[in-house]
Amino acid sequence: MTFLPIRLQPGRLLGPAPAGGGDRPSAAGFRLGSPGAPSLVPTLLICLFDNSGSVISPSGTDPLSNRFAEVEYAFAVVAKRAAPHELGAVLHFDSPCRGDVAPVALNRGGIAKLQGGLVVPGDGAGSSALLPSLRQAVKLTEGYPQHAATLAVLSDFSLLDANPTAALRELAMFPGEVHAVVLGGHLRSDAFDPRITVTHVQREDPPGAVARALFASLITHRRGGRPASP
């Protein structure tokens, strides 16, 4: 199976190129590990992106949008050995918007559809509020009750919800696993409910930090999957 090439550009968030580590070197210059064999149960991984100014502005945590390219790369690595019951989806804090991608199988056609959502949506307003899109993710998950769901939220978590603490509590109630990928910022892990997996990505981290975080969620239910060392 052949996938479209992934092009990653160096960014302020992800720092200089790494020296190496992991199972096999990738064309992107970093390793993710072994995706293992397909899961025995249907799965659904939803990526939820924060495109607010504190993330995408020149002084933001990801001004070059490397997170999109790295997420695409992680999806593509797993898709090479995926089964039809393993699905991926994309939502944005501005959901519903044209950047949203409904669940698709992780195959060549599915990756092409996911690519369409791995951009800052042109009709987005750069919302910093989590709850509207979180509730969209819950509705999406309810449409796939047989699937083990995982929600990966990529944000600096500088939330402008009316009650950010309550928003994080509601995040922990998502009907599945939750992975908070904290882009920069100084939000401590103990600000999250213990049920939420937290990964911090800082400016000094090498390229591949975001891809490795998503890869870890993608292989949660797969057999024999093993992440590479950073």
Instruction: Tell which residue, 210, 216, 229, 226, has the closest CA to residue 70.
Output: 210
Q: For residue 189, name the pLDDT band (cuts at 50, 70, 90).
A: confident
Distance CA 151, CA 19 (A): 31
Q: Regarding the domain delimited by 44-222, which CATH topology (the fold level of the hierarchy) does it fall under?
A: Rossmann fold (3.40.50)
Q: What is the pLDDT of residues 64-74, one digit of tens each?
A: 899 999 999 99
pLDDT at 186 over 80: no
Q: What is the mean pLDDT of residues 83-94?
A: 98
pLDDT at 13 over 80: no
Each domain of the chain, given as residue ranges in start order, spans 44-222
7 CB contacts (<8 Å, ≥6 apart)? 69
pLDDT at 9 over 70: no
Helical residues (DSSP H) of the chain, grouped into ranges:
53-56, 66-79, 108-117, 131-142, 164-172, 209-218
